[in-house]
């Protein structure tokens, strides 16, 4: 087995966590809906035909993984993709699968 530095091992573990987070169909649907616009939990729940509680749970996981970010506006919290890297990973995965 090849030897990896401690830093490399940490990165490998973080990448595995990242891909596990991306491995859930509901979370992929959420990322897809957030690809071009920011949305509040209520709108996401309506579009996904899920409860707000279930969507909030998934958003908390995505936020903890730095895949989405949130901002408060009055009583509403709006979610969007965390940055361009998340968009790029999503697009690359989609393009790769469309070419298969």
For residue 2, what pLDDT is reported?
74
Residue 1 has pLDDT above 70, yes or no: no
pLDDT tens, position by position, 11-60: 999 999 999 999 999 999 999 999 999 999 999 999 999 999 999 999 99
Strand pairing of 68-73 and 76-81? antiparallel
Q: Which residue ranges make up each domain of the chain?
A: 6-99
State which fold the 6-99 domain adopts: Arc Repressor Mutant, subunit A (1.10.10)
Phi, psi (deg, nearest 5) at residue 21: -65, -40
Stated pTM of the model: 0.90
What would the mean pLDDT of 58-82 be, rounded to a whole number?
96
3-state DSSP assignment of residue 69? strand
């Amino acid at each position: 087995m090849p030897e990896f530095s401690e830093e490399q091992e940490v990165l490998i573990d973080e990448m595995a966590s990242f891909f596990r987070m991306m491995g859930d169909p509901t979370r992929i649907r959420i990322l897809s809906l957030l690809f071009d616009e920011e949305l509040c939990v209520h709108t996401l729940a309506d579009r996904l035909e899920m409860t707000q509680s279930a969507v909030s749970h998934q958003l908390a996981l995505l936020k903890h993984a730095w895949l989405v970010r949130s901002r408060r506006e009055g009583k509403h919290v709006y979610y969007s993709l965390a940055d361009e890297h998340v968009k790029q990973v999503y697009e690359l995965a989609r393009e790769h699968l469309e070419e298969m």
